Amino acid sequence: MSDERDSKKKAADLSFEDAVKRLSEIVQKLERGDLPLEESLLLFEEGVGLSRASQDKLDSAQKRVEELLGLDRDGKARTVPFETRGDRES
């Protein structure tokens, strides 16, 4: 359990860019398919932690952008939704 907490803490401490880079390295290693099962599971677990930490950072950045857009006349946050992937491809 301590290792799991350490892994989560390390993932949260990385910059977004470093976390994505490490996640890419993990994916490449796992896709090769030549690792022992236990090592694959450990890498997969690390990857899940990195993915979650990265998503948290993206969510936080989105919230900051929305806050920077200001308030409307009713005092409600004026937001502009981010385009979804499907919206950009149409």
What's the predicted TM-score (pTM) here? Answer: 0.67
At 55, is the pLDDT very low, low, confident or very high (cuts 50, 70, 90)? Answer: very high
Note down the domain range covering 65. 2-89
Of 62, 50, 64, the residue nearest 12 (C-alpha): 50
pLDDT at residue 48, rounded to an integer: 97
CA 73 vs CA 54, 70, 76, 82, 86: distances in Å: 34, 10, 7, 22, 31
Angle between helices 37-68 and 2-13 (to 10 degrees): 40
At 1, is the pLDDT very low, low, confident or very high (cuts 50, 70, 90)? Answer: very low
Across residues 27-44, what is the average pLDDT? 98
State yes or no: pLDDT of 90 exceeds 60: no
What domain count does the chain have?
Answer: 1
For residue 57, which amino acid is it? K
At 49, is the pLDDT very low, low, confident or very high (cuts 50, 70, 90)? Answer: very high
* Residue 2 half-sphere exposure toward CB, CA atoms < 13 A: 0
